[in-house]
């Protein structure tokens, strides 16, 4: 009886997951299908799954690959900014989170409470002082203006701190006995053990940086420095539209995130669950 009930629950769960997956993937499938449709169809019917195979073509993608040179400039900017954001954020945020978890120093709890308070403040409130800081540092219209406010993210610090709380401090004591420095302990012993948390945060930080629109819009000026979200937004003007190119370009923007998730997905769940239950 229990066996039949477990089997029924398993089937119900699987069917539910398939339905949820279809609901989640529906917009992406609609976007993919629409990227092969001409602009006139998009203006008349919008994004939909109704397929007229006689009208599907590769014109939108051929235009992007052959004539839309600015698109690839935006693509390169987004790749560069996202890659630098991921590397720098993981490096600095993991160090701060590790220090808050493993070292007992004066003001540690106050510092951690400050991190939590900043985590509660919407980024929109911080944009004005951050913008003034970038202007004062003469970093407007540069990669650094986009990256610097994101390299020590409060959510990443909190995440790494929670994960590091589960690491054995005995390894640190043993390394000190062997003559290792504190930096050596972190980089050679503890950081490899934080691999799942690094992979999980790499996906989250990469996704946030890749889709970031408002902050780059404030600090970037020249068209050649635009990231993909800003560049694609410029395709829509009061004097015309390029929905066909916009949708095809949006489909291509999904590829880096898929690649990032494929590389790190095996650690993603482990990193999130471990970071969520420690401490």
In the prediction, which pLDDT does 270 show? 58
Domain of 206 in residue numbering reads as 68-277
Task: Give the CATH number for residue 103.
Answer: 1.10.3720.10
How many structural domains compose the chain?
A: 2
Query: Looking at the structure, do residues 208 and 263 belong to the same domain, yes or no?
Result: yes
In the prediction, which pLDDT does 81 show? 94
Q: Which of 14, 35, 66 finishes a domain?
A: 66
Query: Looking at the structure, do residues 7 and 44 belong to the same domain, yes or no?
Result: yes
Q: Which of 66, 83, 102 finishes a domain?
A: 66
Q: From CA 74, how far away is CA 78, in angstroms rounded?
A: 6
Q: From CA 168, how far away is CA 261, in angstroms rounded?
A: 29
With contact defined as beta carbons under 8 Å apart, do 241 and 179 qualify? no
Q: 137: which DSSP letter?
A: T
Helix (H, G, I), strand (E, B) or coil at 127: helix
Q: From CA 254, how far away is CA 28, in angstroms rounded?
A: 9
Query: Looking at the structure, do residues 34 and 113 belong to the same domain, yes or no?
Result: no
Query: Looking at the structure, do residues 185 and 258 belong to the same domain, yes or no?
Result: yes
Query: Looking at the structure, do residues 78 and 60 belong to the same domain, yes or no?
Result: no
Q: From CA 189, how far away is CA 178, in angstroms rounded?
A: 13
User: pTM of the predicted model, to two decimals?
Assistant: 0.82
- Tens digits of per-residue pLDDT, 44-84? 666 666 677 777 788 888 888 887 788 899 999 999 999 99
Q: 237: which DSSP letter?
A: B
In the prediction, which pLDDT does 274 show? 54
- Tens digits of per-residue pLDDT, 129-138? 999 999 998 9
Query: Looking at the structure, do residues 224 and 198 belong to the same domain, yes or no?
Result: yes
User: pLDDT grade, residue 276 (50/70/90)?
Assistant: very low
Query: Looking at the structure, do residues 51 and 81 belong to the same domain, yes or no?
Result: no
Q: Which of 41, 66, 91 finishes a domain?
A: 66
117 — alpha (psi -120 to 50), left (phi > 0) or beta? alpha
Query: Looking at the structure, do residues 15 and 72 belong to the same domain, yes or no?
Result: no
Query: Looking at the structure, do residues 61 and 72 belong to the same domain, yes or no?
Result: no
Query: Looking at the structure, do residues 74 and 212 belong to the same domain, yes or no?
Result: yes
Query: Looking at the structure, do residues 129 and 255 belong to the same domain, yes or no?
Result: yes
The set of long-range contacts for 226-231, using a CB threshold of 8 Å and a minimum separation of 24, is: 226/73, 226/74, 226/77, 227/74, 227/77, 227/78, 227/81, 227/146, 228/74, 228/75, 228/77, 228/78, 228/253, 229/78, 230/74, 231/70, 231/71, 231/73, 231/74
The pLDDT mean for the chain works out to 84
With contact defined as beta carbons under 8 Å apart, do 61 and 123 qualify? no
Q: From CA 249, how far away is CA 267, in angstroms rounded?
A: 30
The string over 6-45, giving b where at least 16 C-beta atoms fall within 10 Å of a residue's C-beta and e elsewhere, is eeeeeeeeeeeeeeeeeeeeeeeebebbbbbbebebbeee
Query: Looking at the structure, do residues 13 and 127 belong to the same domain, yes or no?
Result: no
């Amino acid at each position: 009886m229990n066996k039949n009930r477990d089997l029924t629950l398993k089937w119900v769960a699987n069917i539910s997951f398939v339905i949820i997956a279809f609901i989640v993937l529906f917009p992406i499938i609609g976007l993919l299908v629409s990227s092969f449709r001409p602009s006139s169809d998009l203006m008349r019917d919008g994004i939909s799954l109704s397929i007229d195979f006689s009208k599907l073509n590769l014109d939108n993608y051929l235009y992007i690959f052959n004539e839309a040179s600015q698109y690839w400039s935006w693509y390169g900017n987004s790749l560069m900014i996202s890659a630098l954001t991921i590397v720098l954020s993981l490096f600095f945020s993991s160090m701060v989170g590790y220090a808050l978890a493993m070292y007992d120093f004066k003001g540690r709890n106050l510092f951690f409470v400050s991190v939590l308070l900043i985590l509660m403040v919407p980024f929109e409130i911080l944009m004005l002082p951050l913008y003034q800081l970038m202007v004062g540092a003469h970093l407007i219209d540069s990669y650094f203006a986009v990256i610097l406010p994101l390299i020590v993210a409060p959510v990443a610090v909190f995440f790494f701190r929670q994960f590091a709380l589960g690491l054995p401090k005995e390894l640190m004591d043993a390394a000190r006995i062997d003559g290792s420095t504190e930096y050596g302990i972190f980089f050679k012993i503890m950081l490899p053990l934080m691999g799942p948390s690094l992979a999980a945060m790499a996906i989250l930080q990469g996704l946030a940086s890749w889709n970031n629109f408002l902050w780059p819009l404030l600090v970037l000026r020249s068209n050649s420095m635009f990231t993909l979200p800003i560049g694609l937004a410029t395709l829509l003007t009061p004097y015309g539209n390029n929905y066909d190119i916009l949708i095809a370009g949006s489909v291509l923007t999904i590829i880096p995130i898929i690649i990032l998730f494929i590389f790190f997905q095996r650690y993603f769940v482990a990193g999130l669950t471990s970071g969520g239950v420690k401490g």
